[in-house]
Amino acid sequence: MIKSRVKDIVDRCFAEGVQIGYWGAAAGGRYTIEVPKREGQGDFSTNFALVAAGIDKRKPRDLAAQFAELLGNDPLIDRVEIAGPGFINLFLSKEIWATVLAPIYAQDERFGCSDIGGGRRVLVEFVSANPTGPLSVGHGRNAVLGDAIARVLAAAGYAVHREYYFNDAGRQMRILGESTRARYLELLGLPNTFPEDGYQGDYIYDIARSMIDADGDSYRDAEFTVFKDRAQQAIFADIDATLKRIGIGFDTYFNEHTLYDDGRVDEVVNTLRAKGLVYEKEGATWFKTSEFGQEQDRVIIKSTGEPTYRLPDIAYHCDKFKRGFDWMINVFGSDHIATVPDVLAGIRALGFDDERITVVLYQFVTLLREGKQVKMSTRKATFVTVDELVDEVGPDALRFFFLMRKPDNLIEFDLDLAKKQSQENPVFYVQYAHARLCSIERQAGEQGLAVQVADNVLHRLVEAEEHALLKTMADYPQLVAGAASDLAPHRVIFYLMELAGQFHGFYNKHKVLTSDLELSQARLLLCGALQRVFRNGLHLVGLSAPDNM
């Protein structure tokens, strides 16, 4: 929007300076246009002079003075200041900011969307929790983060495909089957041996009890695989229902066992072996990851014949490439940090471009109640599930709090704060801004006033608080585009909190509906645009935009 117009002006002045002979063309595309972090440094700033000075061997401030001369000829620019070693600060004409209102109304729900993705096919793999128990809060952060990434990418014009990698093979599934079988026999009063590292949650009893209710003791002599299959079905149905409660769905579910059934795991080993990248040692099969920058080689098949996580993961990513995705994004917990380089090494070894894979690692969640940590342990089943969290704080607070920090920051989820119906609670603070704006529109309607997009009242928006709101709304499209490019949906939350603070400050200082009809119409126009930006931002990250609270 306005930033793109400023960029066009700066680029045009640069080209004009090249033509005049003020500087060479080499700096083209290398300088940036940014919003200054401090008040008084202009609406935008460019480092052109610093970049060009290094190339042309000139003094930056001399170049900045020449550039400022060219910029001053544009009616969009109110004034130009040179700061520090040669930064060029641009102050725009104040009335220009009100021009953001018409596009907001015209684009409505599409305001903030773009086509920067160009339809590139993106696979976002997230959640991918083992079907060995209910979703814990750690899985919940994964789910919300992955879904929000997918949403901002779609808004930026990418063709997004959501996928859940279903870990239905391996040791953890055997333990699940053995745990369920032991509980089944225990409920029947029969001798049993519970696995040392088995799953101890009440949900295992529930699954075993459902088998008895349905078929009595007919499975008393059955192998663990029967119990594994029944437990897996029940647990995944529970996972799916939980995800639907927080508005998350998938385009496909990829079953790990198909990688073995179709021979794709064996194909990876055979190909690496043919390339001389696999060897046997101490009964295990090793992959020469040291040839791809790792400190040491890694085991991909244990001496027991059981593959490590690295092997099927390599095969799975090969499948992603073969399906033709341009960009593959994985959302993983920080406990995957050690295996990620090994999988990428396997991808490179097999001839694929690992630059097309991006791994987003997130830190885990600490729950706080009355200022004290709530303990969690999956195996011991003293964990808090996503369902319990939704029951306690609701899906909006869950999503908001999970996105309030960068992925690599630990989250301390304050349960008491998340439940407060006051402006201390950040999600309430933001949603209340939207509800308050809807209330203003209703009050205006009761007085016979309606929002009308008209240029002839915009000159009345002269207050500093109004100017700040207009500038922040103008930033929204760029904010969404950046959140998509950098896989940073938390920026949307930060933006909404900033906008809410500005709006509540404006509302507390200025009346919207006054005896001055023209001023009321101008502020109604401003408030209607704000309502749309709040709605779009909340919906973008999967939150509701309530009309009243």
Domain containing residue 22: 2-92
Task: Please report whether residue 372 resides in a domain.
Answer: no
Would residue 70 count as lying in a domain?
A: yes
CATH of the domain at 41: 3.30.1360.70
Give me the number of domains the chain comprises.
3
Task: Give the model's pLDDT for residue 376.
Answer: 57
Of the three residues 44, 74, 92, the one that is the final residue of a domain is: 92
- Same domain membership, residue 177 and residue 68: no
What amino acid occupies position 489? P
Tell me the per-residue pLDDT of 108-123, one tens digit each, with 9 for 90 and over.
999 999 999 999 999 9
State the CATH number of the domain containing residue 526.
Answer: 1.10.730.10
- Is 344 domain-assigned? no
Lateral strand order in the sheet of 365-369: 372-374, 365-369, 411-414
Farthest-apart Cα atoms in the chain, separation: 94
Asked if 80 and 188 sit in the same domain, the reply is: no
The verdict on 440 and 527 lying in the same domain is yes
Give the end of a domain, one of 214, 245, 276: 245
For 297-316, letters b (16+ CB in 10 Å) and e give: bbbbbeeeeebbebbbbbbb
Same domain, 71 and 175: no
Residue 217 confidence (pLDDT)? 95
The per-residue pLDDT for 177 is: 95
Query: 536 and 432: one domain?
Result: yes
Task: Give domain status of residue 306, yes or no.
Answer: no
pLDDT of residue 47: 95
Residue 107 lies in a domain: no
| Inside any domain, residue 223 | yes
Look at residue 4 in the predicted model and tell me its pLDDT. Answer: 87
- Which of 92, 113, 143 is the endpoint of a domain? 92
pLDDT of residue 378: 46
Determine, yes or no, domain membership for 416. no
pTM: 0.91
Beta-bridge partner residues of 372: 369
Q: Is residue 128 part of a domain?
A: no
Residues 85 and 194 in one domain: no
How many CB atoms lie under 10 A from the CB of residue 190?
11
Rounded alpha-carbon distances, angstroms, from residue 148 to 38, 143, 160, 394, 540? 30, 9, 12, 17, 7
Whether the CB-CB separation of 178 and 195 falls below 8 Å is answered with: yes
Q: Which residues of the chain have pLDDT under 70?
A: 376-382
Question: Is residue 30 helix, strand or coil?
Answer: coil
Report d(CA 292, CA 274) in Å as an integer.
Answer: 17
CA nearest neighbour of 495 among 510, 507, 479, 484: 479
**Residue 112: half-sphere exposure toward Cβ, Cα within 13 Å:** 30
